[in-house]
Amino acid sequence: MTGLRERKKQRTRGALIRVAHELIVTRGYEDTTVDQIADAVDVSQRTFFRYFSSKEDVAFALQDETEAGFYEAVRHRPAHESPNRALRNALDSTWDDFGEAITRIVPLGLYMRMWQAIETTPALLAAHLRRSTETEERLAALFTAREGLSPADPRPRVLVASFTGVMRTAGRQWGEGGDITVEAARRTIDSYLDLMAPVLSDDWGHRL
pLDDT at residue 95 in the model: 85
From the CB of residue 94, how many other CB atoms can be counted at a distance below 10 Å?
A: 18
Q: Residue 187, exposed/middle/buried by CB under 10 A (0-12, 13-18, 19+)?
A: middle
pLDDT at residue 3 in the model: 81
Task: Give me the amino acid identity at 181.
Answer: T
Contacts of 60 (CB under 8 A, 6+ apart): 118, 127, 128, 131
pLDDT at residue 24 in the model: 97
pLDDT at residue 100 in the model: 78
Per-residue pLDDT of the chain (208 residues; tens, 9 = 90+): 568 888 899 999 999 999 999 999 999 999 999 999 999 999 999 999 999 999 999 999 998 888 889 999 999 999 999 999 999 999 999 887 777 778 889 998 899 899 889 988 999 989 998 888 888 999 999 999 999 999 999 999 999 999 999 998 998 888 888 888 888 999 999 999 998 887 776 565 555 4
Contacts of 174 (CB under 8 A, 6+ apart): 116, 119, 180, 184, 185, 188, 189
pLDDT at residue 203 in the model: 60
pLDDT at residue 147 in the model: 92
Residues 31 and 190: their CA atoms lie apart, in Å, by: 34
Q: What is the pTM of this model?
A: 0.85
